[in-house]
Amino acid sequence: MPHMSSQKTIFLLLVCGLLFGLGFYVYREFRTVGTRGLTVGAFLRNPSAQSGQIMRAGTRCENAPFLFPTDGLIGFLWDDSFRPGHRHAGIDIFAGTAPGVTPVYAVYPGYLTRQADWKSSLIVRIPNDPLQMGRQIWVYYTHLASPNGDSYIVPDFPPGTREKYIEAGTLLGYQGNYSGTPGAPVGVHLHISVVKDDGFGHFKNELDIENTYDPSPYFGIELNANRKPDGIPFCEQTQ
């Protein structure tokens, strides 16, 4: 009997351990749903309720090299998660406006490319990373189109544009809600990420977080979900 009791105790401890591990995994994977996700939802329903947390286009936080690209609330961060196994490779900035209204500007000088089949996306090559000179990086902007894929990118950058030099602050287009699937919109926002070079002068796949850099030091504000598990990042104009 003592032997059976001991086996039951071990079994219960194993079950408790598994449940604890599962609970921690679910919390880690979906922490934004319970924190920032609720704030984003409330903001989209009533943007004026969080007006004090809206960042303004052109803001420079601390001594950051990048300007802030658009007006909006920073809703989701680098390495946030929306589903099991997913790791968000950039940041999402929500305007709280209709699609095609809120301007998006270049954060840093560079060479702009828009591939021929890109309806809502642009990428800008920066030959010298301002945080590590000699290293090339890319800045990716997306969701600049309507729910059906009608582009909000300005006419200066038609499909097929390659290596067109732009200055920081150049108007690129307007926030949209194109998801990549016509008729299945996401909330109106800009997704922006800092993408690694493959070493041969091309950008890596932005969808994989391992191919991107933590954008925090580029914008001078904490944008890493591991260091900011809840709350909305914000800074005033400091420069």
Q: Sketch out the chain's domains with CATH numbers.
A: 35-219 (2.70.70.10)
Alpha helices in the chain (DSSP H): 2-29, 31-34, 36-45, 216-219
Indicate the pTM of the whole model.
Answer: 0.85
Q: How many helices (H) and strands (E) does the chain have?
A: 4, 10
Buried/exposed code over 220-231 (b: 16+ C-beta within 10 A; e: otherwise): bbbbbbeebbee
Q: How far apart are CA 113 and CA 143, in angstroms?
A: 16
Contacts 24+ apart (CB under 8 A), 156-162: 157/112, 157/114, 157/122, 158/114, 159/114, 159/115, 159/116, 159/117, 159/118, 160/114, 160/115, 160/116, 161/112, 161/113, 161/114, 162/113
pLDDT of residue 33: 45
Q: Where are the beta strands (DSSP E) in 58-188?
A: 73-76, 91-94, 103-105, 110-113, 122-126, 137-142, 164-166, 171-174
Q: What pLDDT sits at residue 144?
A: 98
Reading the chain (239 residues) residue by residue, the pLDDT tens digits are 555 566 565 555 444 444 333 333 334 444 444 478 888 888 988 988 778 899 999 999 989 999 999 999 999 999 998 767 779 999 999 999 999 999 999 999 999 999 999 999 999 999 999 999 999 999 999 999 999 999 999 999 999 999 999 999 999 999 999 998 988 889 899 999 999 999 999 999 999 999 999 999 999 999 999 999 888 999 977 65
Q: Would you state the pLDDT for residue 205?
A: 97
Q: What is the pLDDT of residue 40?
A: 87
- Contact yes or no for 145/190 (Cβ under 8 A): no
Distance CA 200, CA 147 (A): 35
pLDDT at res. 28: 43
pLDDT of residue 35: 74
Q: State the pLDDT at residue 81.
A: 84
**Which one-letter amino acid corresponds to residue 210?**
E
pLDDT at 97: 96
Give the span between the Cα atoms of 96 and 106, in whole angstroms.
Answer: 20
Residue 183: the pLDDT is 86
Q: How many residues does the chain have?
A: 239
